[in-house]
C-alpha cells in the first residue's frame, strides 16, 4: 500500500503551528482568526430537539426520516427557489467535508478521470480527487476546462477562501457547459446564507438550471448558518438518479447521520430567527475587522459573502502571517488554497466579539 505521503499533500494546518505559538505568547492572548469554526451558541430550539431525540437506541437510516426529507425539500424550495422537489431529490450526509472528500470515489471515478475545481479553493476538492486516484485540475473559468476525461466539476459560490460570488449568468453558462459535455456539476453552496453585498444564487434556482436538476448536485451545510459544525449536519439536493446511486453506495458504507442530529436538522431548517441573529453577529465582526485591516495597511478583495475577509499587504502570505502573529493574531496563509493565493491571507469572522475587538485594537495600533 502506498504511503499517505505519496498519495496526499502535507496537511496544510501543520505548517501554521510555529506562528500559532508566537501569537499565543502575546500578553493579551491569541486571537485565532485562522479557522472557520463557529464559536457562538447552538440555537436553543436545536439543542432541545437534539435532547428530545437522544433516546435513539436503534440504527438510523442513511436516507433519513421522512420528517428530515420534508425539511430538506421544504427549505430548498423556500430558500433556494427550487421547484417540484421530491424526497428523491435530497440526501443527508455526515458533514459537507466528508461528502467533498469521498464523492469522487463514490461516483466510481479513478485513474484516467479528471476532477476540476477553482484555482483558489478549499483544499478538500483536490484531496477527494486524489483519494479516488483521479487527476485534479484547477480552473479560472469552468467553461474553459478541457472536457476530455472530465467527470466532475466543482463550483464554490460563495467561495472559501475569497468570498467571491458567481453571478446568475456565470452559473447558467456553467450549467449549460457541463450538460453539453456530460460532466456532473457539484456546487458547494455552504455559505449561501452569508451574502453581504450581494445575494448568492443557487444552481438549483430555475433561472439557472431551467427547472431541471439533471446533472446537478448542490451541497449545503448547517455548520455556518446554525453553528452546527459539531453536529456534522449537511445534505445534497439535485439529480434524483445520481442521488439514488449515492444512496445505495452509502447504505453499503453505513454513512448514517445520527438520529438525534436528524431531529436537530429538522428544527434548524424550520427556524429563520436564529439565522438572522447569527448573521447580525457576523456582520458586526466583519465591519470592525474590515475597517481595522484597512487602517493597518491591508487591502480587501472580493469578500462580498462567506465568513472570511480575503486580505493582502502585497507581500508573501507567510510574511503577513508572521506580521500578524507578532501582534497575537493568527490568520490562514492564502497558499493553503492554491498558489494563486500566495500574497493573501484569509481572516475568519469566527471569533468571539471580545477577541475580535482585541484584534481590532492591535491592528489599529499597528496602523
Please choose, from the candidates 14, 16, 11, 1, the residue with its C-alpha nearest in 3D space to the C-alpha of residue 322.
16
Q: Quick one: angle between helices 44-52 and 259-269, nearest 10?
A: 150
- Residue that the C-alpha cell 431529490 belongs to: 89
Please choose, from the candidates 121, 113, 151, the residue with its C-alpha nearest in 3D space to the C-alpha of residue 138.
121
Cell matching residue 331? 490568520
Please choose, from the candidates 309, 298, 259, the residue with its C-alpha nearest in 3D space to the C-alpha of residue 64.
259
Amino acid 12: pLDDT: 75
Q: What pTM, to 2 d.p., does this model score? A: 0.95
Whether the CB-CB separation of 137 and 116 falls below 8 Å is answered with yes
- The neighbour count for residue 205, using CB atoms within 10 Å, is 18
Amino acid 1: pLDDT: 57
Amino acid 367: pLDDT: 82
> Which of the four CATH numbers 3.40.50.2300, 3.30.420.40, 3.60.70.12, 3.90.1150.10 does domain 4-41+274-366 have?
3.90.1150.10
CA distance 161 to 308: 7
Whether the CB-CB separation of 191 and 306 falls below 8 Å is answered with yes
Cell matching residue 48? 432541545
Residues 163-192: b if buried by 16+ CB within 10 A, e if exposed: bbbbeeebbbbbbebbbeeebbbbbbbbbb
Whether the CB-CB separation of 144 and 283 falls below 8 Å is answered with no
Q: pLDDT of 248-297, one tens digit each?
A: 999 999 999 999 999 999 999 999 999 999 999 999 999 999 999 999 99
Please choose, from the candidates 266, 217, 177, 226, the residue with its C-alpha nearest in 3D space to the C-alpha of residue 82.
217
Amino acid 14: pLDDT: 84
Amino acid 177: pLDDT: 98
Phi/psi for 251 (5° steps) reads: -65, -45
CATH class of 44-269: alpha beta
Task: Please list the pLDDT of the chain residue by residue as tens digits (367 residues).
Answer: 566 556 677 777 789 999 999 999 999 999 999 999 999 999 999 999 999 999 999 999 999 999 999 999 999 999 999 999 999 999 999 999 999 999 999 999 999 999 999 999 999 999 999 999 999 999 999 999 999 999 999 999 999 999 999 999 999 999 999 999 999 999 999 999 999 999 999 999 999 999 999 999 999 999 999 999 999 999 999 999 999 999 999 999 999 999 999 999 999 999 999 999 999 999 999 999 999 999 999 999 999 999 999 999 999 999 999 999 999 999 999 999 999 999 999 999 999 999 999 999 999 999 8
Cell matching residue 255? 454513512
Amino acid 13: pLDDT: 78
Domain coordinates in residue numbering, the chain: 4-41+274-366, 44-269
Cell matching residue 82? 427550487
Q: pLDDT of 100-129, one tens digit each?
A: 999 999 999 999 999 999 999 999 999 999
On the CB side of 4, how many CA atoms lie within 13 Å of its CA? 3
Amino acid at each position: 500500500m502506498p504511503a499517505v505521503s505519496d498519495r496526499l499533500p502535507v496537511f496544510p494546518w501543520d505548517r501554521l503551528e510555529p506562528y500559532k505559538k508566537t501569537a499565543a505568547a502575546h500578553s493579551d492572548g491569541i486571537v485565532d482568526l485562522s479557522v472557520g469554526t463557529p464559536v457562538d451558541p447552538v440555537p436553543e430550539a436545536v439543542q432541545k430537539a437534539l435532547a428530545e431525540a437522544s433516546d435513539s437506541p436503534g440504527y438510523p437510516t442513511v436516507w433519513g426520516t421522512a420528517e428530515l426529507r420534508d425539511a430538506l425539500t421544504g427549505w430548498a424550495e423556500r430558500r433556494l427557489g427550487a421547484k417540484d422537489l421530491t424526497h428523491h431529490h435530497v440526501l443527508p450526509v455526515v458533514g459537507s467535508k466528508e461528502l467533498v472528500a469521498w464523492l469522487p470515489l463514490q461516483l466510481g471515478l479513478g485513474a484516467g478521470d479528471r476532477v476540476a475545481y477553482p484555482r483558489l479553493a478549499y483544499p478538500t476538492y483536490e484531496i477527494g480527487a486524489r483519494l479516488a486516484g483521479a487527476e485534479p485540475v484547477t480552473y479560472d473559468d469552468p467553461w474553459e476546462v478541457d472536457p476530455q476525461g472530465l467527470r466532475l466539476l466543482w463550483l464554490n459560490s460563495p467561495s472559501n477562501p475569497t468570498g467571491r460570488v458567481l453571478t446568475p449568468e456565470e452559473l447558467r453558462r456553467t450549467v449549460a457547459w457541463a450538460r453539453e459535455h456530460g460532466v456532473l456539476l457539484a456546487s458547494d453552496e455552504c455559505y449561501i446564507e452569508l451574502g453581504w453585498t450581494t445575494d448568492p444564487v443557487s444552481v438549483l434556482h430555475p433561472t439557472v438550471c431551467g427547472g431541471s436538476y439533471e446533472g446537478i448536485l448542490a451541497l449545503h451545510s448547517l455548520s455556518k448558518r446554525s453553528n452546527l459544525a459539531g453536529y456534522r449536519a449537511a445534505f445534497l439536493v439535485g439529480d434524483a438518479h445520481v442521488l439514488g446511486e449515492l444512496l445505495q453506495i452509502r447504505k453499503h458504507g453505513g454513512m448514517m447521520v445520527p438520529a438525534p442530529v436528524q431531529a436537530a436538522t429538522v428544527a434548524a431548517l424550520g427556524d429563520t430567527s436564529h439565522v438572522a441573529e447569527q448573521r447580525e453577529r457576523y456582520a458586526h465582526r466583519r465591519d470592525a475587522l474590515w475597517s481595522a485591516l484597512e487602517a493597518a495597511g491591508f487591502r480587501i478583495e472580493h469578500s462580498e459573502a462567506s465568513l472570511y475577509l480575503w486580505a493582502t499587504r502585497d507581500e508573501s502570505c507567510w510574511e503577513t502571517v508572521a506580521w500578524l502573529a507578532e501582534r497575537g493574531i493568527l490568520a490562514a496563509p492564502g497558499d493553503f488554497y492554491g498558489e494563486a493565493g500566495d500574497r493573501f491571507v484569509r481572516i475568519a469572522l469566527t471569533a468571539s466579539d471580545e477577541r475580535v475587538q482585541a484584534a481590532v485594537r492591535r491592528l489599529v495600533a499597528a496602523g
